[in-house]
A and B are shown apart, each in its own frame.
Chain A
Amino acid sequence: AQRVTQPEKLLSVFKGAPVELKCNYSYSGSPELFWYVQYSRQRLQLLLRHISRESIKGFTADLNKGETSFHLKKPFAQEEDSAMYYCALPCSGNTGKLIFGQGTTLQVKP
């Protein structure tokens, strides 16, 4: 069965420290994976996706098929990065449906 696991409910770091939000998935085939973010009092929005291989707001994510992971990384955290982060995986079947992980709250302390 397809599944997305984010093992950390809360990740707290100091400003300037590196950040890694973990995401593991189960999927048979080549997955397209996403990271969505929800800042305080804002809507959930796409942060980045595997296929684009972009760096958005300093964040990157590399797909590791061997470890079935898609961890989100940033070398130097900023206070404005504080938010809820969700990893997501498309469901099979061409429905556009996504399976979301449980979410990780990133708290960047000054």
Chain B
Amino acid sequence: DAGITQSPRHKVTETGTPVTLRCHQTENHRYMYWYRQDPGHGLRLIHYSYGVKDTDKGEVSDGYSVSRSKTEDFLLTLESATSSQTSVYFCAISEYRDIGTDTQYFGPGTRLTVL
């Protein structure tokens, strides 16, 4: 497995509380991504980063924010968690420069339950 860890691996929280998920990589890859995985929807991109302090929105970014202050860390924050954000969250990294270096490597996932 590529050097990608996610923390926490499991979390149960209540509606309205803030939640931060962490993705940490040791590969020095430039690109990092946050996805959510839901039955019937597959993997959907929430936010991504193309460098330190450089981030952009993905397909389902409402209710989420991200930060990347160091190459190795990419944080996903749910400002005020809702039940619709119950999901499995995956982080991925890529060294992407062009075709052939665009493989994404995934973390183990975080299962988040919002009650």
Residues of A within 8 A of B (CB): 6, 9, 32, 43-46, 49, 51, 86, 90, 94-103
Contact = CB atoms under 8 A, between A and B. Distances in A.
Interface residues of B, number: 29
Nearest to A101: B42
Nearest to B50: A95
B43 A103 contact: yes
Given A51-B99, A96-B96, A97-B33, A102 B41 contact: yes
Nearest to B35: A100
A41 B104 CA distance: 18
Contacts of A101: 42
B65 interface: no
Contacts of B1: 43
A51 B106 contact: no
A97 B58 contact: yes
A86 B35 CA distance: 13
A95 B42 contact: no
A99 B45 CA distance: 8
A97 B104 CA distance: 9
